[in-house]
A = this chain, B = another copy of it.
Amino acid sequence: MAIITSVDVVDVRFPTSLTADGSDAMNKDVDYSAAYVILRTDDPALSGYGFTFTIGRGNDICALAADRRAQPLLGRDTDELLDDLGTTYRFLKSDSQLRWLGPEKGVEHLAMAAVMNAVWDMAARRAGKPLWRLLADMTPTQLVKVADLQYLSDAITRDEALAMLTELEPTRAARIAELEQTGYPCYTTSAGWLGYSDDKLRRLCQEAVDAGYRHIKLKVGADLEEDIRRLRIAREVIGDDAHLMIDANQVWDVPQAIEWVGALAEFKPLWIEEPTSPDDILGHAAIRRAVAPIGVASGEHGMNRVLFKQMFQAEALDFCQLDSARLASINEILAVYLLAKKFDVPVCPHAGGVGLCELVQHLSIFDYVAVSGSLENRVTEFVDHLHEHFVDPCIVEDGAYRLPAQPGYSAEMFESSLAEFSYPDGTYWAQRIAERT
């Protein structure tokens, strides 16, 4: 047995705003950041690493919240915590004073994600398995026990969840074998940021096609004429067979979204992503009815499982883009996957930023192996930024994620990266700040 002896939370920020990586109609300057949690034990061989993702300012607020949320873990026996991750999750979640600050949304929920991501990473490391494998080796009963089904029983019961998981259990191994050959299909957003020139857009689209991608995503919503010009360029490069997706990052009201997407219909987008407020379930449903056959995708700002439950009940989504650092780790993410299976909506997780690709590969693989059992209409985001900071970076070949092999949730960053990019005292930021003053 090992005892948790320390919680360290690091505010890590990468200066991505300098290159316009990640620029879109809502977010003009973006410094990809992580509130990064390190759980250490008295066993030097057993630690846990996790984070939530932000885009710069406020990352310190998430770091403070994560540090507070993790304190009850200090001095606890890791076997006790990791043998029953449902109870551990509910134990951390049970602070009613902190609950008031959400409930289950915003900074406190991002902090819960960071802490539980580190706990799940530790659980996978203790088992000597990558997280997707740890999950794929759990029985349906064990999975349902860790899933947070509170407030969901009007949409899915414990017995329904158990039956869905049990039905796929005998064929898990065959799907693992298949993915070991093919990998899990992904798409790229690297080509489509608003800050890029037409030439850079054209070149990046061509590179994406050459790299084997069949799906390309472009940011839209700042200027209609510009959107039409950029979509035309993209279609010229990728042709009519490849899929083109568009992402408005919440800039429109509902009527405006319907009008603007209609004006882009000629380019046959597979989906419009985040057309309006991520909280607007009924608005997404109205947009979906109006823009069909163009699909509606949302979820990177989906605050919790109760929002996704309603998105499914209202038939508001064609694609569910849950976020691995915004939902409260596997306990809540699993509940959303179970709902998505019940309502037959494909989950295409949001990724990019820093470290999200490392996390979501585990989720998508597990979903195919144990929950949905399907690859139909499923493609997971991949953005080729900042992977060099991770000890176990995701590997993408021919437009597909290779299966992670190292133990854990692939969340660990290099000490050297933390030393350089921790804010404000890391070597990079200390120099930037010194230059400014």
Q: Which residues in A have some Cβ–Cβ distance to B below 8 Å?
A: 26-31, 54-58, 60-62, 64-65, 68, 95-110, 150-154, 250, 253-256, 276-283, 286, 301, 303-304, 306-307, 309-310, 313-314
Is the beta-carbon distance between B153 and A254 smaller than 8 angstroms? yes
Bound CA–CA A293/B219 (angstroms): 48
Is the beta-carbon distance between B96 and A58 smaller than 8 angstroms? no
CB distance from A96 to the nearest CB of B (A): 5
Query: Out of B65, B106, B250, B283, which one reaches A109, CB within 8 Å?
Result: B106
Instruction: List 9 tightest A-B contacts by C-beta distance, closest first.
Output: A106-B106, A107-B107, A154-B254, A56-B97, A57-B97, A151-B277, A153-B253, A279-B306, A58-B101
CB distance from A328 to the nearest CB of B (A): 13
Is the beta-carbon distance between A101 and B54 smaller than 8 angstroms? yes
Query: Out of B105, B152, B255, B310, which one reaches A106, CB within 8 Å?
Result: B105
List the B side residues contacting A313 at CB < 8 Å. 282
| Copies of this protein in the complex | 2
Please list 11 pairs of residues, one from A and one from B, whose beta carbons are closer than 8 Å in the complex, sorted by A's number.
A55-B100, A57-B98, A58-B101, A61-B65, A61-B101, A105-B106, A105-B279, A154-B283, A280-B310, A281-B282, A283-B310
Is the beta-carbon distance between A97 and B151 smaller than 8 angstroms? no
Is the beta-carbon distance between B303 and A54 smaller than 8 angstroms? no
List the B side residues contacting A100 at CB < 8 Å. 27, 54-55, 58
CB distance from A40 to the nearest CB of B (A): 24
CB distance from A407 to the nearest CB of B (A): 31
Is the beta-carbon distance between A151 and B276 smaller than 8 angstroms? yes
Is the beta-carbon distance between A106 and B96 smaller than 8 angstroms? no
Residue in B closest to A54 when the chains form the complex, CB atoms: B100
Residue in B closest to A150 when the chains form the complex, CB atoms: B253
Is the beta-carbon distance between B61 and A57 smaller than 8 angstroms? no
Residue in B closest to A314 when the chains form the complex, CB atoms: B282
Is the beta-carbon distance between A303 and B282 smaller than 8 angstroms? no
Of A57, A58, A276, A283, chain B has the most CB atoms within 10 Å of the CB of A58
CB distance from A277 to the nearest CB of B (A): 4
Bound CA–CA A305/B27 (angstroms): 21
Bound CA–CA A426/B64 (angstroms): 22
Once A107-B101, A253-B154 are accepted as A-B contacts, the answer to whether A281 and B303 lie under 8 Å apart by CB is: no
List the B side residues contacting A282 at CB < 8 Å. 281, 310, 313-314
CB distance from A349 to the nearest CB of B (A): 17
Bound CA–CA A306/B277 (angstroms): 8
Residue in B closest to A276 when the chains form the complex, CB atoms: B151
List the B side residues contacting A56 at CB < 8 Å. 97
Once A255-B153, A280-B151 are accepted as A-B contacts, the answer to whether A110 and B101 lie under 8 Å apart by CB is: yes
Bound CA–CA A29/B250 (angstroms): 38
